[in-house]
Structure 1
Amino acid sequence: MILYPAIDLKDGQAVRLLRGEMEAATVFNDDPAAQAAAFVASGAEWIHLVDLNGAFAGTPVNAAPVEAILKAIDVPAQLGGGIRDMATIERWLDKGLARVILGTTAVENPTLVREAARAFPGQVAVGLDARNGLVATKGWAEETTLKVTDLARTFEDAGIAAIIYTDIDRDGAMGGPNIQATEALARAVSIPVIASGGVSSLDDLARLKATGVIAGAISGRALYDGAVDLAQALALMRG
């Protein structure tokens, strides 16, 4: 199971939101590249990036800090937020991203997801963000009537690398991840599922790992607040 330290970018800074609310942002580092380098120095094997402004704008906004991060680290990074056309996908992969995450696009233009997954094998993931099991899009600002599991199943044959599943009401709240829903999704599809939202302790990570079916976990606020020690967490994941 892979642990992905998260760097969420808003106005060029590394922040964490509370339940996806942009006005409830806490700035943790003015230098996202330095933050990424610190995660790698502690042993991180992947970095998870989100362009929060881009998710709302529908186009990349925090390109400069993302590029600075890519230059500062020697491990793979994945990015979501504002990636909604093939040109943007190609541009980010050309700049050195290991994987792009398509969220809103997965709902509004699933054909593009399939085309991208075929064009770039292993480099396209789908981000499914949900409230009460229903998918939300556009930086979580718009809710749909689509069930997460139903949408995930439509990509079974698309060749995507992973599904990042976020329970919005758990995100940044330090209340623990929605293990039951994440495990149910992981058992419903053959695509690797990465848990996101609410990881607040080593015990949370241990319980996610104990399911035996969850491929990874993303952690942000818990690492910044010191509730989770990254080196200990990485040792747990590898053990």
Structure 2
Amino acid sequence: MILFPAIDLKDGKCVRLQKGDMDAVTVFNDNPADQAKQFEDQGFEYLHVVDLNGAFAGESVNGDAVEAIIRSVEMPVQLGGGIRTIDHIQAWLDRGLARVILGTIAVRDPELVKEACKKFPGQIAVGIDARGGKVAVEGWAETSELDVIELAKKFEGAGVAAIIFTDIDRDGILTGINWDATLELAKAVSIPVVASGGLASMDDIEIMTKPEMQVLEGAISGRALYDGRIDVPLALQKIKDAS
């Protein structure tokens, strides 16, 4: 079980959004690489990064900031947002990313994801972002008619390293992770699932330690870390003890 600290990048800065709204932005650090190093120094072991501008643009926009983050830490880094071609995946993995997260392209072109899994084993994750149980794409700007579990099952046996499942309606507003929907997904597929969206307090950390939650690979925390709502040493120890 991994607690992933999140760095969301907008215009080169470390920010948090509310429910994916690019206009509802709080800037937490002008120096994302410094933020990444702070997380590593706190004891985190795996970093989650999203290029928010890239998710809307369909290409990497905050590449310089991501490269600075990779250089600043020794822990593995996973990145999502605007990565939509095999060449783009290759380029990022060559720069030192541990894992690339494919979101919109997983809906638009599932075969590309399967091809990527064969070419880069263990380094491809799928990001499934949902609003009202339906998959959202293009930086959450569009909602499809595709069901979350329906999409996830397309990748069974393909070699996807993990599914990052985000409930958009809870993201950035500290209402707690949608554990029911996350567990439902985790039980429906054999691919490891990471919970995202709304981790609010030590109560969510306590939930992560429950036996039934050990089916998950972990959970992502953003705003709750920046706001100091998580006692990081205690949280990491609780998760370690439960794993």
Q: Which amino acid aligns with 1:97?
A: L
Give the equivalent residue in structure 1 for 2:182.
Answer: 182
RMSD, matched Cα? 0.7
How far, CA to CA, are the matches of 1:163 and 1:99 in structure 2? 12
1:117, 1:159 within 8 Å by CA — same for their partners in 2? yes
1:2-13 aligned within 5 A: 2-13=2-13
Ranges in structure 2 where 5+ consecutive residues have no aligned partner = none
Name the structure 2 match of 1:19. 19
Give aligned pairs, total.
Answer: 239
Scaled by the length of structure 1, what TM-score is found? 0.99
Task: Determine helix, strand or coil for the equivalent of 1:186.
Answer: helix
Mapped to 2, the partners of 1:209 and 1:51 lie a distance apart of: 30
2:164 paired with 1:154: no
The CA distance in 1 between the partners of 2:217 and 2:81, in whole Å, is 21
- Please show how residues 1-239 of structure 1 align to structure 2 within 5 Å: 1-210=1-210, 211-239=213-241
Letter in 2 for 1:172: G
Q: 2: distance between equivalents of 1:124 and 1:25?
A: 28
Counterparts of 2:221 and 2:138, CA distance in 1: 21
Mapped contact 1:179–1:208 kept (Cα < 8 A): no
Q: What SS does the aligned partner of 2:135 have? A: strand
Please tell me whether the aligned partners of residues 208 and 239 of structure 2 are also in contact (alpha carbons under 8 angstroms): no
Measure the CA separation in 1 of the matches of 2:112 and 2:236: 34
Contact 1:103–1:126 (CA under 8 A) maintained in structure 2: yes
The structure 1 segments of at least 4 consecutive aligned residues displaced by more than 4 Å after TM superposition are: none
Deviation at 1:231, TM superposition (A): 1.9
Unaligned runs of 5+ in 1: none
CA distance in 1, matches of 2:150, 2:221: 26
Letter in 2 for 1:185: L
Identity score, percent:
60
Q: TM-score, normalised by structure 2?
A: 0.97
1:118-160 CA deviation, whole Å, 9 max, x = no partner?
Answer: 0011100000000111000000000000000111011011101
